[in-house]
Amino acid sequence: MQNTIWTEEFGDTAHPPVLLIAGSMSQGPQSWPDAFVGRLAAGGRRVIRYDHRDTGRSRTVDFASDPYTWRDIKDDALAVLDTHGIESAHIVGHSAGGLLAQWIAVEHPERVTTLTVIGSSPLGRQEGMTIMRALMGEEQPEGSLPPPAPAFVEFYRQMITTAPPATRAEQIDFQIAEARVLSGGGLPFDEDEERRQAERLHDRALDLSALANHRLAAAADMTFEPAGVLHTVKAPTLVIEGTHEPAKPGHGALIAAEIPGAELLMVEGMGHMLAPPVQGTLADAILAHTVTVRR
């Protein structure tokens, strides 16, 4: 069955294109807030964000009858570029979107002008297994990635053992509670703004229950990522991590160490999300990174 991906773009189409790849189970506007996107467009970039399949306004499926893999989700990003007539773009990925961005940079270097990875883990290190072991209380084997922060582990342990939110009000309250944990505690948490965002995301989604299909796609193949390949990345790379990252602490340095010539930017107070106080810093860093192609 044909997949339909919802996209939108900002800025002048004559400007250098920037493709924003959201995290797992995240809508485009969830990972990439309007103000942040606006800063990039105002800085002279053609910015494209999109909803992953089974999120937001993109098509949803019955996974049992129409399954897919994370390779398919990765290929969706390339299809977005094709649809917009773009041969090569500055690729920016957040969280699991950062894994997809790294994967694209490895497999399709001709499509990646520069690479920016935010709040992500190194490709091929099975970050999902690290989180799963942490949630199950299992010991991490030697050489594993650093585990999530205790507050992150406790929140998602409780989520596993409690009934999912059913009503609109419960779902919005859950999104706010999750955002508080992902904020990492390094910056003031604006609950009113988070509520407005959660209400918007809830009401624009075609089917919120379809988000779980991303977990099914990952569970179907926990080792989907190619390993030992980051040293082949040719695109100039910027890796960004917050000092209060709760989900993937210390993973940014590992990515930067594996990609030749990669730069690491640590953002003070930032957690896992692009909170308003750091959006200017992030946008400025990406604009500077995408000015000159250092091949």
CATH code at position 179: 3.40.50.1820
- Does residue 220 sit within a domain? yes
- Does residue 140 sit within a domain? yes
- Mean of all residue pLDDT scores within the chain: 93
* Cα–Cα dist 269/7, whole Å: 31
- Residue 220's pLDDT is 75
CA distances from 45 to 20, 35, 42 (A): 12, 14, 7
Provide the domain limits for residue 220: 7-289
- Residue 156's pLDDT is 93
- Does residue 144 sit within a domain? yes
The count of structural domains within the chain is 1
Query: What does the pLDDT look like over 97-120, one tens digit per residue?
Result: 999 999 999 999 999 999 999 999
* Cα–Cα dist 101/82, whole Å: 16
Give percent above pLDDT 70 in the chain: 96
- Does residue 209 sit within a domain? yes
* Cα–Cα dist 33/200, whole Å: 12
Among the residue ranges 73-87, 139-153, 216-230, the one predicted with the least confidence is 216-230
pLDDT band at 129 (very low <50, low <70, confident <90, very high): confident
Give yes or no for residue 1 having a pLDDT over 70: no
**Residue spans of beta strands (DSSP E) within 17-173:** 17-21, 46-50, 89-94, 112-118
- Residue 222's pLDDT is 61
* Cα–Cα dist 221/23, whole Å: 18
Positive or negative CA dihedral for 284, 285, 286, 290?
positive
* Cα–Cα dist 127/28, whole Å: 22
Phi and psi, residue 115, nearest 5°: -125, 130
- Does residue 118 sit within a domain? yes
Q: What is the DSSP string of 159-187?
A: HHHSPPP-SHHHHHHHHHHHHHHHHTTSS
- Does residue 1 sit within a domain? no
Distance linking the first and last C-alpha atoms of the chain = 39
- Does residue 295 sit within a domain? no
Bridge partners of 92?
20, 116
SS3 for 219-276, per residue? HCCCCCCCCCCHHHCCCCEEEEEECCCCCCCCHHHHHHHHCCCCEEEEECCCCCCCCH
Which residue from 288, 187, 169, 174 is spatially nearest to 242, judged by alpha carbons?
Answer: 187
Bridge partners of 7?
50
Query: What does the pLDDT look like over 222-239, one tens digit per residue?
Result: 667 888 999 999 999 999
- Residue 140's pLDDT is 93
pLDDT band at 57 (very low <50, low <70, confident <90, very high): very high
- Residue 295's pLDDT is 43
- Does residue 14 sit within a domain? yes
Query: What does the pLDDT look like over 205-224, one tens digit per residue?
Result: 999 889 889 988 887 766 67
